[in-house]
């Protein structure tokens, strides 16, 4: 899934490298509607279901999608549900 929604980050990674990343440093989180989350600079998110939107914005990012921290601030859709 990461190779599809975030090809610029994982497109050249081998399956073995992706397995290592998954085993060593991943977690799955479930958020309720209206719940706010923050994506840290060292994190990459993969939205598998639902949608997110940035607080104070009406733009919606629907699944499947990748969430990445860019240039000192999170992607436009990386905060809030």
pTM of the model: 0.58
Dihedral of the CA atoms 27, 38, 55, 8 (nearest 10)?
-70
- Sorted by where each begins, the domain ranges of the chain are 2-74
Q: How far apart are CA 70 and CA 31, in angstroms?
A: 22
- Taking only the tens of pLDDT, the chain with its 81 residues reads 666 667 777 788 888 887 787 777 777 788 888 888 888 877 778 888 888 887 778 888 888 888 877 654 545 444 443
């Amino acid at each position: 899934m990461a190779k599809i929604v975030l090809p610029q980050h994982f497109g050249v990674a081998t399956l073995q490298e992706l397995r290592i990343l998954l085993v060593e440093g991943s977690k799955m989180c479930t958020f309720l509607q209206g719940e706010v989350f923050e994506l840290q600079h060292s994190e990459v998110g993969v939205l598998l279901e639902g949608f997110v939107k940035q607080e104070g914005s009406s733009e919606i990012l629907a699944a499947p999608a990748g969430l990445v921290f860019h240039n000192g601030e999170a992607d436009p859709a990386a905060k809030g549900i």
